């Protein structure tokens, strides 16, 4: 039995009360779904700036009305300390996912990124400590590796941040270490590497590459690759990120005050990714098989290559990815195509973000 199976069985036998910030977002809603399926009590906090109520409706459709009876939604912003205090009251564990993602967004509006990602995270730490929360697991990012050239990326070797977004995530890691040392709050950081999957938003100027390209291929819109397509990423299916969060939350005391990479320890370049998505979408929309990408100039703040070393999270927390790139893309395309057939999302713009 895997460590993750052990954790899930333990939670089902002894339910906890959890706070998930960003609960209506992509990763947040996946966490809510899994926790409710395991019989947990869940408080969700979301401002709906980037999250969507439809994501929580979809969670309800998956877990059922009975399980949703154990879910409490607080609509509010992590930038407000009193809202964080109310959300964190009487919870055992916090999974902090709320943030303003996107490198281009942070370049256009660095103040908003700082307020949400740094001020908001400090508020969550303050509120969790005051409420006597056992542990906080927070979302960091592979962007903190910045200009460090090494591959795969290892947790103790980072470079200079290349964007305000990356800087906010690095500051979060510094604060997390300080909070554990100064206040005794157990804090664990997860550096996500290009997480993708169901409920990831294909709309808007900051949409991530995989849902945007699926929607574009399905509807005949162009897919744009910024750069020559040789840049590569460690694409990680959302269920792997869910596993990492639960393992981090229930890991041994020595696992706190640490950051861990969450990925596959693999790399897929953008041209290869495009072909993999095209092949899968074409099983639903045969006309997609003939589609070709368009190319545009590289965008500022993007790194050329990214790949996670997962030795640390595997050895210390028992992480073992359940979905490789093939399985993850197959499930993701099928989910989005079902939504497209029901009219759940529109033809996307072509200015996709690679992150």
Residue 112 lies in a domain: yes
Q: Containing H/E element for 341?
A: helix 325-341
The Cα 136–Cα 154 span in angstroms is 22
pTM for this structure?
0.94
Of 353, 221, 234, 222, which Cα lies nearest the Cα of 299?
353
Residue 339 lies in a domain: no
Of 93, 179, 103, which Cα lies nearest the Cα of 141?
103
**For residue 206, what pLDDT is reported?**
61
Stretches where the chain sits below pLDDT 70 are 204-207, 343-355
Of 228, 274, 236, which Cα lies nearest the Cα of 153?
236
Residue 37 lies in a domain: yes
Of 347, 306, 339, 106, which Cα lies nearest the Cα of 212?
347
Exactly one of 165, 196, 206, 237 is catalytic; which is it?
Answer: 165
Instruction: Report the CATH number at residue 134.
Output: 3.40.50.720
Residue 102 lies in a domain: yes
Q: Containing H/E element for 74?
A: strand 71-75
| Residues paired with residue 286 on neighbouring β-strands, in sequence order | none
Q: Assess whether 165 carries a catalytic annotation.
A: yes
* Domain span including residue 145: 3-195+238-263+307-322
Residue 213 lies in a domain: no
Residue 279 lies in a domain: no
Domain count for the chain: 1
CB atoms within 10 A of CB 55: 23
31, burial (CB in 10 Å: exposed 0-12, middle 13-18, buried 19+): buried
Please report, for residues 56, 75, 204, 343, the alpha-carbon distance to residue 340 in angstroms, rounded to integers and kept in the order given: 18, 28, 16, 5
Residue 187 lies in a domain: yes
Contact assessment for residue 302 and residue 354, using Cβ atoms and an 8 Å cutoff: yes
Residue 256 lies in a domain: yes
Taking all residues of the chain, what is their mean pLDDT, rounded to a whole number? 93
Percent of the chain with pLDDT over 90: 87
């Amino acid at each position: 039995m895997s460590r993750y199976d052990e954790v899930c069985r333990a939670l089902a036998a002894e339910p906890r009360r959890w706070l998930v910030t960003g609960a209506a977002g992509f990763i947040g809603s996946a966490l809510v779904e899994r926790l409710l399926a395991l019989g947990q009590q869940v408080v969700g906090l979301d401002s709906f700036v980037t999250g969507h109520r439809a994501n929580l409706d979809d969670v309800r459709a998956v877990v059922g009305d009975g399980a949703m009876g154990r879910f409490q939604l607080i609509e509010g912003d992590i930038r407000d300390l009193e809202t964080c205090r109310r959300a964190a009251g009487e919870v055992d564990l916090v999974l902090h996912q709320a943030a303003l993602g996107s490198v281009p967004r942070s370049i256009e509006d660095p103040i908003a990124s700082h307020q949400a990602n740094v001020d908001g995270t400090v508020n969550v730490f303050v509120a969790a400590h005051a409420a006597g929360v056992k542990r906080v697991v927070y979302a960091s990012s592979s962007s903190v590796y910045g200009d460090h050239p090494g591959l795969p990326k290892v947790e103790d070797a980072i470079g200079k941040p290349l964007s305000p977004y990356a800087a906010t995530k690095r500051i979060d890691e510094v604060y997390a270490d300080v909070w554990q040392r100064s206040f005794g709050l157990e804090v664990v950081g997860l550096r996500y590497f290009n997480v993708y999957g169901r409920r990831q938003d294909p709309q808007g100027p900051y949409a991530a590459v995989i849902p945007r390209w699926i929607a574009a291929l399905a509807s005949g819109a162009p897919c744009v690759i910024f750069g020559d397509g040789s840049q590569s990423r460690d694409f990680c299916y959302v269920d792997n990120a869910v596993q990492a969060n639960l393992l981090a939350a229930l890991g041994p005391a020595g696992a706190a005050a640490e950051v861990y990479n969450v990925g596959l320890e693999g790399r897929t370049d953008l041209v290869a990714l495009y072909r993999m998505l095209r092949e899968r979408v074409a099983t639903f929309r045969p006309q997609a098989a003939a589609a070709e990408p368009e190319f545009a100039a590289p965008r500022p703040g993007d790194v050329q290559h990214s790949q996670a070393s997962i030795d640390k999270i595997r050895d210390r927390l028992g992480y073992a990815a359940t979905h490789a790139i093939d399985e993850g893309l197959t499930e993701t395309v099928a989910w989005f195509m079902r939504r497209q057939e029901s009219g759940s999302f529109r033809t996307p713009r072509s200015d996709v973000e690679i992150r």
